[in-house]
Chain A
Amino acid sequence: MGSIVNDRRFLVALLVTAVCGLMFKVSYFQQNQAAYLFPIIISSLTLAFSITSLIREYFDLCVDDFKAFPFFEQVPGIVITIVGVSLIELIGMYSSSFLVLVAITTFYSTKGSLVNRFIKSAVFSFLFLLVMYLIFNVLLNVQLPRGLMF
Chain B
Amino acid sequence: MCLSGEDVEFIQFFGEVLTPINLLILIAGTIGGLILGATPGLSPTMAVALLIPFTFQMEPASSLILLGAVYTSTVAGGAVSGILVNIPGAPANIATVMDGHPLAQQGRATEALHYSFISSLLGGLVGVFLLIFFTPALAQLALKFGPAELFWISIFGITIIASLGGGSVVKGLIAGGVGLWLSTIGYNPVLGEERFAFSEHLAGGIHVIAALIGLFAIPQVLTLLGEAKKTGEITFAELRNHSVVKSFLFTLSRVKAVTIGTVVGCIVGVIPGAGGQIAGLVAYDQTKKFSKDPSKFGKGEPDGVIAAESANNAMVGPSLVPLLTLGIPGSPTAAVLLGGLLINGLFPGPDLFTVHGKVTWTFIDSLLLGQVFMMIFGLAIARYSRFVTKIPNHIMAASVVILAIFGTYSVQNNISDVIVMLVLGTLMYYASRLGFSAAPLVLGLILGQLTETNFLQGQMIAGEDMIGYFTSGTINQVVIGLCVLSIVYSIYNERRQISKRRATASEA
Report which A residues bind B (CB closer than 8 A): 12, 16, 20, 23, 26-27, 30, 32, 34-39, 42-43, 45-46, 49-50, 52-53, 56, 61-70, 73-74, 77-78, 81-82, 84-85, 88-89, 93, 97, 100-101, 104-105, 107-110, 124-125, 128-129, 132, 135-136, 140-145
Contact of A109 among B225, B392, B455 (CB under 8 A): B392
Contact of A128 among B399, B405, B409, B498 (CB under 8 A): B399
**B170–A52 CB distance below 8 A:** yes
* Complex interface: chain B residues within 8 A of A77 (CB): 221-222, 225, 397, 401
Q: Which of B136-170 contact A (CB under 8 A)?
A: 167-168, 170
Q: How far is the CA of A81 from the CA of B406 in the complex (A)?
A: 13
Q: Judging by beta carbons under 8 Å apart, are B455 and A38 in contact?
A: yes
Among all A-B residue pairs, the 10 with the closest Cβ atoms: A46-B177, A108-B394, A65-B435, A70-B226, A35-B193, A108-B228, A104-B398, A77-B225, A142-B410, A39-B184
* CA–CA, A63 and B258, complex, Å: 35
B395 A50 Cβ-Cβ under 8 A: no
Complex-state Cα separation, A126 to B317, whole angstroms: 40
Q: Does B452 contact A (CB under 8 A)?
A: yes
For A64, list chain B residues within 8 Å (CB).
501
Cβ of B13 under 8 Å from chain A? no
Q: Find out whether the CB atom of A35 lies under 8 angstroms from the CB atom of B395.
A: no
Binds A, one of B318-326, B418-426, B475-483: B418-426
The reply to whether B415 and A145 contact each other, CB–CB distance below 8 Å, is yes
Total contacts A to B, CB within 8 angstroms?
170
Q: Which residues on the A side are within 8 Å of B196 (C-beta)?
A: 26, 39
**Which residue in B177, B405, B434, B451 is a CB contact (below 8 Å) of A12?**
B434
Distance in Å: Cβ of A110 to nearest Cβ of chain B: 6
A35: which B residues are within 8 A, CB to CB? 188, 191, 193, 195
Cβ of B181 under 8 Å from chain A? yes
Pick the contact of B173 from A39, A49, A69, A85 — CB < 8 Å? A49
Tell me whether B498 and A97 are in contact (CB under 8 A).
no
Q: Return chain A residues, CB-CB under 8 Å to B394.
A: 104-105, 107-109
Say yes or no: B178 contacts A108, CB within 8 Å. Answer: no
Q: Is the CB of B422 within 8 A of A53?
A: no
Contact between chains at A66 and B170 (CB < 8 Å): no
Known: A104-B401, A128-B402. A23 touches B195 (CB 8 A): no
- Known contacts: A43-B177, A56-B170, A85-B405. The answer to whether A66 contacts B228 by CB under 8 A is no
Excluding A63-B498, A68-B433, 20 further A-B contacts by CB distance (< 8 Å) are A16-B174, A20-B174, A20-B178, A23-B178, A34-B191, A36-B195, A45-B173, A45-B177, A62-B168, A69-B222, A78-B426, A84-B405, A85-B418, A101-B399, A110-B228, A110-B231, A129-B402, A143-B413, A144-B410, A145-B415
- Chain B residues with Cβ below 8 Å from A49 are 170, 173-174, 177
Which residues of chain B from 104 to 163 have any CB-CB distance to chain A below 8 Å in the complex? none
Q: Knowing A49-B177, A144-B410, say if A100 contacts B191 (CB, 8 Å).
A: no
- Which of chain B's residues 356-412 have a Cβ closer than 8 Å to chain A? 392-395, 397-399, 401-403, 405-406, 409-410
- In the bound complex, how far is the Cα of B436 from the Cα of A66, in angstroms? 9
Report which of A26, A67, A142, A143 forms a contact with B433, defined as CB distance below 8 A.
A67
- Asked if B351 is an interface residue, CB under 8 A from chain A, the answer is no
User: Whole-angstrom distance from the CB of B260 to the nearest CB of chain A?
Assistant: 29
Q: Is the CB of A108 within 8 A of B410?
A: no
| Interface check B10, CB cutoff 8 A | no
Option from A23, A32, A63, A100 in Cβ contact (under 8 Å) with B167: A63
Q: Can you list 24 contacts pairing A with B, beta carbon distance less than 8 Å? A: A12-B434, A23-B181, A30-B195, A38-B456, A42-B181, A42-B184, A49-B170, A53-B171, A56-B170, A62-B494, A63-B168, A63-B494, A67-B433, A69-B429, A81-B422, A84-B405, A93-B405, A97-B405, A97-B406, A109-B394, A125-B398, A143-B413, A144-B409, A144-B410
Report if A140-B410 is in contact (Cβ < 8 Å); known contacts: A73-B226, A110-B231: yes
B180 close to chain A: CB less than 8 A: yes
Give chain A residues whose Cβ lies under 8 Å from the Cβ of B191. Answer: 32, 34-35
Whether A108 contacts B501 in the complex (CB less than 8 A), given A43-B177, A101-B402, comes out as no
Chain B residues with Cβ under 8 A from A26's Cβ? 196
B12 at the interface (CB under 8 A from A): no
Whether a CB of chain A sits under 8 angstroms from the CB of B430 is yes
Task: Confirm or deny: B292 has a beta carbon within 8 angstroms of a beta carbon on chain A.
Answer: no
Shortest distance in angstroms between A39's beta carbon and chain B's nearest beta carbon?
Answer: 4
**Complex-state Cα separation, A85 to B501, whole angstroms:** 45
User: Any chain A CB within 8 A of the CB of B19?
Assistant: no
Q: Are A69 and B177 in contact (CB under 8 A)?
A: no
Residue on A nearest B169 in the bound complex, by CB: A49
Distance in angstroms between the alpha carbons of A37 and B191 in the assembled complex: 11
Residue of B nearest to A105 (CB): B398
